[in-house]
């Protein structure tokens, strides 16, 4: 089974803090994604990466950056957390070129910024 893990299930941070959300997958997937999930809005793509050190902006990259130094790990960084970044963050991975295009999700990190 594909396993995607995220470093924290719940996180509480203060406005202005630098926040790191970590995601690790164990199935040698090339593609990794960061989404945020908000009620009534579904999932929105923040960034994705299709290879080590490669990244592409999604729909809502403002206020976020990412890092992919190793194939299995994709980090989301909030340089200076703000209250409007309070949300559920989901990481996903998928196999490049796979006909199924299925994305496998982590359990999510619920971030609260006070």
Partner 1 sequence: AQTVTQSQPEMSVQEAETVTLSCTYDTSENNYYLFWYKQPPSRQMILVIRQEAYKQQNATENRFSVNFQKAAKSFSLKISDSQLGDTAMYFCAFMKHNNNDMRFGAGTRLTVKP
Tell me which residues touch partner 1 (CB under 8 A).
4, 31, 33, 35, 40-45, 48, 50, 58, 90, 94, 100-103, 105-108
CB of 113 to partner 1, least distance (A): 21
Q: Where are the beta strands (DSSP E) in 1-114?
A: 4-6, 10-13, 19-25, 31-38, 42-49, 56-57, 64-70, 73-78, 87-94, 104-105, 109-113
CB atoms < 10 A from the CB of 21, how many? 21
CB of 23 to partner 1, least distance (A): 12
CB of 39 to partner 1, least distance (A): 8
Q: Which is nearer to partner 1, 11 or 43 (CB)?
A: 43
């Amino acid at each position: 089974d594909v396993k995607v893990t995220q470093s924290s299930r719940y996180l509480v941070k203060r406005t202005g803090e630098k926040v790191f959300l970590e995601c690790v997958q164990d199935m040698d997937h090339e593609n990794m994604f960061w989404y945020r999930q908000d009620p009534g809005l579904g999932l929105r793509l923040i960034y994705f990466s299709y290879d080590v050190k490669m990244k592409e902006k999604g729909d809502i990259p403002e206020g976020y950056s990412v890092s992919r130094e190793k194939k299995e790990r994709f980090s989301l960084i909030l340089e200076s957390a703000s209250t409007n970044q309070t949300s559920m963050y989901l990481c996903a991975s998928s196999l490049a070129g796979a006909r199924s295009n299925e994305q496998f999700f982590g359990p999510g990190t619920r971030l609260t910024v006070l």
